[in-house]
Structure 1
């Protein structure tokens, strides 16, 4: 059986791909089946997740503060959206870069160095976070426990 191709959406000239994974804070979501929106969002809108609920997410863009009614928390049900990620043109260039083109290779190396630096900064932030957590709680965490916490939070290579 052939593997199904991911669904790609073009919105305002940018391309996004649907991803099948649990939604996380700061993810982009595409509204595909809007319900009771109080005119705060519509099908085709891209919103940023601000919080996770048992059966949906919260987004500031969906908050509606009418007296006595509305969607004060900006709740969006799981059935209303799909998780999307922007298609990074740099990644496409990496796939198509040719050894015959030194300029492409230099550009790719620059992009790779930038990404490594970003990852090193993120690792440093996580280390500081766990150090603070350990200091506040008085507990010690093993590398395995840290990895399990990160996995449970849904943080990984696709950030």
Structure 2
């Protein structure tokens, strides 16, 4: 008779921080999938386990759901301090009371404890396989012209 062990309990380990500078919101209106908005990533920084700068050209492709919550699909590139390119994908959700979400849309500072903003982060890198072999989750803050988050490695 074999004994089956319980799987390890995941823990979170702080890995890196992202400060993404955003361009003006592009409102595409109602499409077949919902209310589409695209927010360009125009720059920013990564600090922590690896250092780098976010490159202009990425974007967050959002769908505003009927209940006001937002499904996020952000894809952008970074150049590490040693010159290597890294591709980052962050998918998640931002939700909260309608008044809070409207205040965020107006660019107001809102206490991050008043809304939920989390992402699942995947990284592609030709030189850092340890980043590709991990799952990261982000705890995010939306500010007027930026998104900041801490990425945690799920151990």
Structure having the higher strand fraction is 2
TM-score by length of 1: 0.21
Q: Which has the higher helix share?
A: 1
Q: Of the two structures, which has the highest relative contact order with CA contacts closer than 8 Å and spacing of 6 or more?
A: 2
